[in-house]
Structure 1
Amino acid sequence: MLSEFQETLLQSVKAYQSTQLVKNKYENVLQHLDSGIMLFDSDGVLTFVNVQMARLLEIPRHSLIGCNLLQLLRHPHLSRFKKKKILRLYRETIFYRKKNHELVDEYGRYWLTTVTYGDQMDGDFLLSVKDVSDFKLIEQTAYQNDKLAMLGKISAAIAHEIRNPLTAIRGFIQLLRPHLIQLGRDEYARIILTEIDRANDIIYEFLNSSKPTAPQKTVMSITSLLKEVVLLTESEALMKGCEIHLKEADTVMNVSIDVKQIKQVLLNMIKNAMDAIEEVEGDHAGVIDIHVKPEGRYVNVTIRDNGNGMDKALLARLFDPFFTTKEKGTGLGLSVSYRIIKNHRGHIHVDSVKGAGTVFVIALPLVI
């Protein structure tokens, strides 16, 4: 009888140990997921938080376990920015029954937050947070490419529709020219023909700008091109009260590029930097720093200014076609630059702080 009891007890202990091993195994998996996880019980008490979530909140795990939502919001280590996000999450979940939320943190990263509750959770609330910044970047890139493709189609249609009547007008003016000469008004015909030709040139430039042609590549030193660009812009920069500093690399870095197109991109970036410096009020010594640096299979061209800078809302629309904050701007410069760099299998990264300046980094493949 005793041995049966001991055997039953032993089996119970083994089953408990086995259950604990499985529990510890799954808990260990949850702890090391790349998604942040929090679990609140039916009383609203935090019973589990994994390493990633504690890292996101920037609070030690041991000080979170056992907290309710109010205590979490009052935690001395929780930043004001995160408190606002948690309150927004709470309101949208409780009052609007929203289960999926997209948040942007103070570092500009995108997070997909999912709240799971109901019968399947036995009254508990599971909060999971996943970094979707890379997916968001892919989505934004695809959206940008779609807009640029649409811009090219619109530009081609506009150019075609305007060119046709201009061609007709030019033809009739040439027919009328002998009569104008007889009346002593040949100057009128010359002016009209000149202005029509100028309109055609503007249309041609617009069409080429909005839809860059395939690059005609030649191999050259990126430093040589930058020296040429600085030479072209430094006099205008001095007139606008700023200096351009070019820091050359120790090694020769060759790139395979369409020189005309990449020069257009660099000139556009430097002109934008000059405009941003002009926006700063008061006696401000403007500086534009340009330096080149190899980064793996790419060469990075960094253009940094101490101008007015941009906020996050403006940064998000920076490469949109026709979007501009300038009174006489077309909004095509940066969208065209974006496409040119993409056509060269490179990429552009921009970072800016309002009132502190802007940094553009253009990455182009190296010729090895």
Structure 2
Amino acid sequence: ETKEKEEQFEEIKRTIAKYQGQVTLGKIMTVVFHEGRKPLNALKQHPKFITAWSKEFISAFKGNDQLKNDELKELYSKILDRLNDNKQQAEIFINIFKKLEPLANSKRSYPKTFVLSKPIIDAFKLFESELKEKDISYSVTGDIETKFKGWEIDFQIAFANLIENSIHWLPTSSSKNISVVIKDTSDKLIIDYQDSGTGIDEENIQNQDIFDPGFSTKEEGTGLGLSIAGESFERNKAKIRAISNNEGANFIIEINK
């Protein structure tokens, strides 16, 4: 009976993990719409120009006196430019799907050894366009080659939620930066996440209620982001806590070896 209960509990945890990933994926769909709109518009417009210029180009060959040689070269250059741009815009979509594919995975695999900095960097890449647009810089430093055995996707989900939170509050700050430092000590792995935003109220730091489901200080917040981050870390026997910092929000993630 105990074994059966444990199996049921593990199945519940896997189901929760899957749905948390889908919640995060749903939130990140706004990024897809933001990043995907521009290349879609370009791909929609290009065929019209390419078709018209190609007809002109063919017509020029049929009657050499219609266009001068340098004009032919310019026309050919335009066609090539649009074709190359089509290729670049298509690659934008390919990269978006590559970034999002792990979050959409419905199956939960066994824990594996991975480089700890990879899912953190991957999480930043999800928001690359928005970070650039809002002039937010970021860095991942320290013991970046440190390896850990767990679920890589959990770390990507957790940091995606932390980053999304920072992006919301950073635009009101004069300095816009997110810093992640990985420390490999003798008995622990420590990840220090800091941003230069508005920070966290001392009362919330004392009782750590920011990780409670439903807690949010955003006007239209779901109150799920930090809760999901906390759950994702816990599945990997990691603990996250907020600490006092006058320069912005600061989270410490600790993993016992």
TM value normalised by structure 1: 0.38
Quick check: 2:190–2:252 contact (8 Å CA) kept in 1? yes
- Of the candidates 222, 225, 229, which is equivalent to residue 116 of structure 2? 222
1:352 alignment partner, SS class? coil
Please tell me whether residue 337 in structure 1 is matched to residue 241 in structure 2.
no
In structure 2, the partner of 1:359 is: 250
Instruction: Indicate how the Cα distance of structure 1 residues 328 and 335 shifts in structure 2: closer, same or farther if over 3 A, else same.
Output: same
Instruction: Indicate how the Cα distance of structure 1 residues 334 and 214 shifts in structure 2: closer, same or farther if over 3 A, else same.
Output: farther
Tell me the number of residue pairs that the alignment of Structure 1 and Structure 2 aligns. Answer: 154
The aligned runs of 1:202-241 (5 Å cut-off) are: 216-241=110-135
In structure 1, the partner of 2:189 is: 299
- Of the candidates 337, 341, 347, which is equivalent to residue 239 of structure 2? 347
Instruction: Indicate how the Cα distance of structure 1 residues 365 and 236 shifts in structure 2: closer, same or farther if over 3 A, else same.
Output: farther
**Counterparts of 2:109 and 2:252, CA distance in 1:** 20
**Counterparts of 2:218 and 2:153, CA distance in 1:** 25
Instruction: Give the structure with the higher percent strand.
Output: 1
1:326 Cα deviation from its structure 2 partner: 1.0
1:288 Cα deviation from its structure 2 partner: 0.7
Instruction: Indicate how the Cα distance of structure 1 residues 329 and 362 shifts in structure 2: closer, same or farther if over 3 A, else same.
Output: same
Quick check: 2:114–2:147 contact (8 Å CA) kept in 1? yes
1:323 Cα deviation from its structure 2 partner: 0.9
In structure 2, the partner of 1:246 is: 140
Instruction: Indicate how the Cα distance of structure 1 residues 214 and 225 shifts in structure 2: closer, same or farther if over 3 A, else same.
Output: closer
TM value normalised by structure 2: 0.53
Please tell me whether residue 278 in structure 1 is matched to residue 177 in structure 2.
no
**Counterparts of 1:314 and 1:273, CA distance in 2:** 16
In structure 2, the partner of 1:314 is: 204
Which residues of structure 2 form unaligned runs of 5+? Answer: 1-12, 20-106
Letter in 1 for 2:122: E
Query: Whose RCO is larger (CA < 8 A, sep 6+)?
Result: 2
In structure 2, the partner of 1:290 is: 180
1:329 alignment partner, SS class? coil
Letter in 1 for 2:232: I
Which residues of structure 1 form unaligned runs of 5+? Answer: 1-148, 156-212
The aligned runs of 1:22-171 (5 Å cut-off) are: none
Letter in 2 for 1:309: G
| Percent of aligned pairs with the same amino acid | 22
Instruction: Give the structure with the higher percent helix.
Output: 2
1:238 alignment partner, SS class? helix
Q: Structure 1 runs of 4+ off > 6 angstroms? A: none
Letter in 2 for 1:232: L
**Counterparts of 1:218 and 1:307, CA distance in 2:** 34
1:314 Cα deviation from its structure 2 partner: 2.8
> Which structure has the bigger radius of gyration?
1
Quick check: 1:348–1:362 contact (8 Å CA) kept in 2? yes
Instruction: Indicate how the Cα distance of structure 1 residues 314 and 351 shifts in structure 2: closer, same or farther if over 3 A, else same.
Output: same
